[in-house]
Amino acid sequence: MVANITTGKDVYGALAYNQEKVDRGDGKVLLTHIVREPADGRFNVAATAEDLLRWMPSHYRTEKPVVHVSLNPAPEDRLDDGQLAEIAGAYMERMGWGGQPYIVFKHTDIGREHIHIVSVQVAQDGRKINDSRRNERSVAVTEELEREYGLHPAKGILGGLFIGDTLAGGGYTIVFA
């Protein structure tokens, strides 16, 4: 499983990207954690963004409070929605983001199913959640999840680590395999 972690400033943009896939029929919301779920099940990007941001105090100083994770099992791995939701929750918990609000989207637009998780990495006291050694922790977590769920191990670049370019939104991408 490959984890792609992007941080940035714009929670609305991260949610809109994922909701667009849902609206096109190429995705759906699998799981919410500490995020209000509409009675009709139809998420509104602005309301969901407001819900995530409400979690953070107005005095936070973190430059890039938004975290957007994509978890990509190998194409030959077949997981049902329940398993994907469990994997998302376990990943967030083990990465130290389990107490944060987040929403998990499933995408089916590229010939294989994968999930996206949108959250914030600022605790209610305004401090950024510790992300030191995030690279190593993510590799360890994805490898644990591969073993626990009987998934095919990801084949990585440079021993399993590729650091990508800066993104237009000011975030950065780290891909782990």
Across 105-114, 137-146, 165-174, which has the greatest mean pLDDT? 137-146
SS3 assignment, position 132: coil
Distance CA 56, CA 25 (A): 31
Q: In Å, how far are 36, 46, 80, 90, 155 from 17, measured between CA atoms?
A: 19, 12, 23, 23, 27
The two tokens of residue 48 are 């969901």
Q: Could you report the per-residue pLDDT of 99-117, keeping only the tens digit for each?
A: 999 999 999 988 788 999 9
Partners of 33 in beta bridges? 102
Q: Give the pairing of strands 114-120 and 66-72.
A: antiparallel
Residue 65 and residue 122 in contact, taking contact as beta carbons nearer than 8 Å: yes
pLDDT tens-digit readout, 37-96: 888 878 899 999 998 888 887 777 788 999 999 999 988 899 999 999 999 999 999 999
- Specify the pTM: 0.85
Task: Show me where the domains of the chain are located.
Answer: 2-176
- What would the CATH number be for the domain defined by 2-176? 3.30.930.30
